[in-house]
Amino acid sequence: MDYLIKKISALETYTVRHPVLREGKPIESCLFDGDTLNTTFHLGLFDEGNLVGVCSFLKSKHALLKEESQYQLRGMAILKEKQHLGLGKLILSHGENLLKQQNTQIIWCNAREKAVGFYKKTGYQIIGLPFDIKNIGQHFIMYKAL
């Protein structure tokens, strides 16, 4: 299969964020805080020209992590019909490599309970206690040294 991964705008992520992460919610719910900061970037994975996966990287420090240079992974999503084909791993590792090149030490995320297995497989570990995000459910803080 021929996949292309490239930087896209925050707005472009909505076609995947909406059905996968905000199903049934208004399109405005796809806007995340910090989406348009100049330190934030968004990646899109294209399958034969169609956007099928997205993830975003926001410069943000977590209080439980001591490293100076940290990024938060946000909006990790692969269209349902394209999940479990290795695409999540592919786009995430592309983003991690870009962060590594700019000397980011740690990447972390608020992982939905259902996605913890995916993050563990890609080298992330849990820190701290689980917490609830209103309307979405239980989350775990997970991180990985780059």
Ligand X SMILES: CC(C)(COP(=O)(O)OP(=O)(O)OC[C@H]1O[C@@H](n2cnc3c(N)ncnc32)[C@H](O)[C@@H]1OP(=O)(O)O)[C@@H](O)C(=O)NCCC(=O)NCCS
Instruction: State the residues that interact with ligand X by CB under 6 A.
Output: 20-21, 76-78, 83-89, 111-112, 114-115, 117-118, 121
End-to-end CA distance of the chain: 27
* Nearer to ligand X among residue 44 and residue 88 (C-beta): 88
Using alpha carbons, list the distances in angstroms from residue 142 to 2, 22, 68, 86.
Answer: 30, 21, 17, 20
Cβ–Cβ < 8 Å for 105, 145: yes
Label residue 82 left, alpha or beta by phi (over 0 means left) and psi (-120 to 50 means alpha).
alpha
Question: Which tokens hold the place of 34?
Answer: 């910090």
* Nearer to ligand X among residue 114 and residue 134 (C-beta): 114
Could you tell me the smallest distance in angstroms from the CB atom of residue 103 to ligand X? 25
Could you tell me the smallest distance in angstroms from the CB atom of residue 11 to ligand X? 19
* Nearer to ligand X among residue 2 and residue 38 (C-beta): 2
Cβ–Cβ < 8 Å for 141, 64: yes
Could you tell me the smallest distance in angstroms from the CB atom of residue 54 to ligand X? 9
Q: Rg of the Cα trace of the chain?
A: 14
Could you tell me the smallest distance in angstroms from the CB atom of residue 66 to ligand X? 23
* Nearer to ligand X among residue 66 and residue 120 (C-beta): 120
Could you tell me the smallest distance in angstroms from the CB atom of residue 28 to ligand X? 19
* Nearer to ligand X among residue 6 and residue 120 (C-beta): 120
Rounded Cα–Cα distance for residues 113 and 137 (Å): 8
